[in-house]
Structure 1
C-alpha cells in the first residue's frame, strides 16, 4: 500500500483541496439531485447513476422523485409501479434492491436514512461507493466514495499503476481519498473528484490543459496520463440466440408473460420467447415451446419481422421476432396475461421487448 501511494506525500494536500473545491464551486453542473442534500434523493441518484450516464438519468430521476417523493412513498409503492418508473434504465435489480432497502429504512430507522457507515452499508444494494457517497454528500461525513471515475482520476494524479479492474484495488484508492479528503467540505470534495473524472479527466483524451489540479498531477508531469489507469479488458460476452413472438387474439389483444421472481430481469414482462436450440427451424421450436410451457395452441407467421440485439454485461441476446395468432388456450396460467394495446403501456418491459413492440406497432401502422 505504502509503495503504491508513495506519491501522495509529494502532494500539497491543502493546495490540492483548495484548487479542486474552487473549481467545483464555480463549474459544477446544474443537476437535479444537487438542489438539496436530501439523503433519499442522493441515494436514488447514486443508484440510478451506476452504469448509466448522467444525461440519461436526469429525466428518469425527475419522474421517479415526482412519483415517489419520499421514503414513505417508495416503501409503500407497488413493485409494478416502481419497475414501470425504472423502465428503460436497465439493471432492474437496482430498483428492486432500492425499494427493499427503503422499506427497511422505514421499518427499522423510522424513515431516516442512516448516517453511520455500519448501518447504511447493511442495507440491500448499498455497497462501499454508495455508502460513501450518501454519507459524504448528504451528511458531510468524510468517507471515501470510490467509483471508476475516482480511480481513473487518482491513478493519474498519484501515478498509481495497479489494475483498477481488480476488486482488491479499491482499498488502495479508498485509502488515498481518506488522506486527501477535505474534512471541512467532504460533500463537495467527493463530488468534485467525480465531476473531474466525468468532464475533464475522461477515459480517453483527458483535457489536461483545463484541469484545475494539473500542477498536482504526477501522470501529467510524467507524460503518462494517456497510459493510466491500468485496466484489464473484459472477456467478450456470450451470444445467446433467441426467438420471440407477439401473439394476437381474435379480438386483437396481446399475450404477455411475467419473468420469474429471481434472476435476469426478474418480474419484468415480456412476449413469449425461448432460447433457440434448433437453428434450422426456430419458428417450429418456438411454437412447440409455447404449447408445452403455456398450454397454448398458436400459429406463428413465417418470416422474421426484425432481429433485436441487446447487450448485457455478461451476455448478448440476439432475438429473432415473429408475429402470430393465439388459436386457443387450455386454461389461464399464472404470470400470463392477455391485454389490450392500451393496457400494455401499464406493464414494465425490458428494453429489448419494448423494441419488439415498437416494431410491431410500426408494421401495423404501415399496413
Structure 2
C-alpha cells in the first residue's frame, strides 16, 4: 500500500470497526486517490464522503494535513515519524503505522489491540489506558521488531489482536503464540488486560427541528470546533421542549410556524456523551437567519449530516 492509503485507512479505523470502514475507504479512494486530490477537493465533497463515519474531526484533520503535505513536503508523506506526528490528526501510533507498513521502517505502532496482546502475553496487570503501559509496550515492540519485515510484523500484531486475541472471548486454541502467553498458562486471559475507565458518559437532552419553507430545509453551518466540528447539522435547542415552547422559540427568531408535527424520540451515543432527542417537523414562512437553505436533493448529494441526526434525516422529504 502507498503511504497515503495507509494514512487514510489508519485514520478511518480509529475507534471504528473494520466492517464499518470498508465501504467508506473504497468510496474515498475512488474519489480522492492521492494527497493532491484530497488537497484540491472542496470541503463539502470531503464531508459527504465521510458522512456517517463519525468522529468528524478526523475528516477535518485529513484535509488540513493534506494541505500541509502538498505545501511543505511536495505531496509526499515524510518518512520521519517525529515529523509525521506534527501533522494534524497524526499521533505517535499513526506515525508508527505509516512508517512501518508503508516505508518498512522498524518503528513501533501501539494501538488497543497491541496493548491487549502484550498485557496477556506478559500477564501484566498494568492499566493499559495509562501512558506508562503505552510507553512500556512501545519499548517491548521496538526490541522485538525485525528490521527486514517491519510492516509485516506491525500488521501481524494488529491482526492477532483484532482476530484472535479478542477483548472478551480470546481464541486461544488458534493463537500462534499461545505457548508463550503467561495469561493463558495462568488461566487469566479473560481477566486481562486491566482497563480502568474513569470517564462517566453524561446525558444531554435536545430538541431537533426539521424546518421546511416549502422548498428548502434549514441546516446549521459547519462549526470549527466541538463534537460535530466540520459537519452541517439540523437546528437544535437545549432540553426537551414542548410544542408550545418550540413555537415560541421560532417566533423569537422572526419565523412563523404554519404547521408543527411531533417526531419520534431518538438517541445517539458518543464516546463521552449520550444525546436524548425529541424532534419536530415544522413548515415555516421562512428559514431562520444564520441557517443554510438546502433542498432534499442537495442534502442527499452535497451537504453531509452526522449520524447523530440519522433518526431525523428520513423526515427531510
Question: Taking structure 1 as the reference length, what is the TM-score of the superposition?
Answer: 0.82
Cα separation, 2, equivalents of 1:142 and 1:267 = 35
Q: Please list the CA deviations of residues 4-31 of structure 1 after superposition, one character each: whole Å capped at 9, or x if unmatched.
A: xxxxxxxxxxxxxxxxxxxxxxxxxxxx
Cα separation, 1, equivalents of 2:151 and 2:44 = 34
2:127 maps to what in 1? 163
Deviation at 1:291, TM superposition (A): 4.0
Cα separation, 1, equivalents of 2:308 and 2:295 = 20
Deviation at 1:287, TM superposition (A): 3.2
Matches within 5 A, 1:63-212: 63-212=27-176
Q: Contact 1:272–1:290 at 8 Å: present in 2 too?
A: no
2:309 maps to what in 1? 353
Q: Please list the CA deviations of residues 103-157 of structure 1 after superposition, one character each: whole Å capped at 9, or x if unmatched.
A: 1010000001000122111111100110000000000111110000000001011
1:32 maps to what in 2? none
Answer yes or no: is 1:306 the counterpart of 2:264: yes
1:12 maps to what in 2? none
Q: Please list the CA deviations of residues 158-181 of structure 1 after superposition, one character each: whole Å capped at 9, or x if unmatched.
A: 221100122332101101111111
1:247 maps to what in 2? 211
Cα separation, 2, equivalents of 1:118 and 1:128 = 8
Deviation at 1:300, TM superposition (A): 5.5
2:190 maps to what in 1? 226
The one of 228, 231, 246 equivalent to 1:286 is 246
Q: Contact 1:244–1:322 at 8 Å: present in 2 too?
A: yes
Deviation at 1:259, TM superposition (A): 3.8
Deviation at 1:357, TM superposition (A): 1.7
Q: Contact 1:182–1:189 at 8 Å: present in 2 too?
A: yes
Between 164-173 and 283-292, the greater mean CA deviation after superposition = 283-292
2:227 maps to what in 1? 264
**RMSD value, Cα:** 1.7
Q: Which runs of 5+ in 1 are unaligned?
A: 1-36
Aligned length: 316
Cα separation, 1, equivalents of 2:284 and 2:222 = 20
Cα separation, 2, equivalents of 1:327 and 1:342 = 21
Deviation at 1:349, TM superposition (A): 0.2
Q: Contact 1:200–1:211 at 8 Å: present in 2 too?
A: yes
1:339 maps to what in 2? 294
| Shift in alpha-carbon separation, 1:295–1:77, aligned structure 2, 3 A | farther
Deviation at 1:327, TM superposition (A): 2.2
Deviation at 1:295, TM superposition (A): 3.8
Q: Contact 2:217–2:294 at 8 Å: present in 1 too?
A: yes
Cα separation, 1, equivalents of 2:295 and 2:234 = 14
1:6 maps to what in 2? none
Aligned to 1:296, the other structure's residue is in SS state coil
Question: Taking structure 2 as the reference length, what is the TM-score of the superposition?
Answer: 0.94
Aligned to 2:208, the other structure's residue is in SS state strand
Matches within 5 A, 1:18-97: 37-97=1-61
Q: Please list the CA deviations of residues 37-91 of structure 1 after superposition, one character each: whole Å capped at 9, or x if unmatched.
A: 2000000000000000001111100000111000100011111111110000000
